[in-house]
Amino acid sequence: MARKADGERKPATEQAIIEQAQRELRLIWWRYTLWITILMFVAPLVMTVLAALLRIGQVSFLILNFIVVFVLVQMMLYHVRQSYNRLKQLGRTAVQKHLWHAARAALEPFSRFGNRGFDWDGEAHYLLMRTYLSLGEVQRAAKVRDFLLRYRRGKWVERARKVTASGEDG
* pTM (two decimals): 0.76
Backbone angles phi, psi at 56, to 5 degrees: -85, 140
Query: How high is the mean pLDDT of the chain?
Result: 85
Diameter of the chain by CA atoms?
Answer: 68
Task: Please report, as a single letter, which amino acid is at residue 60.
Answer: S
Quick check: 71 pLDDT over 90? no
Number of folded domains in the chain? 1
Task: Identify whether 8 is part of a domain.
Answer: no
Task: Identify whether 57 is part of a domain.
Answer: yes
Task: Identify whether 53 is part of a domain.
Answer: yes
Contacts of 16 (CB under 8 A, 6+ apart): none
> How sure is the predictor about 2, in pLDDT bands with cuts at 50, 70 and 90?
very low
For residues 78 and 17, what is the distance between their CA atoms, to the nearest angstrom?
Answer: 23
What pLDDT shows up at residue 105?
93
Contact criterion met (CB below 8 Å) for 32 and 83: no
Contact criterion met (CB below 8 Å) for 144 and 111: yes
Domain range spanning residue 56? 13-166
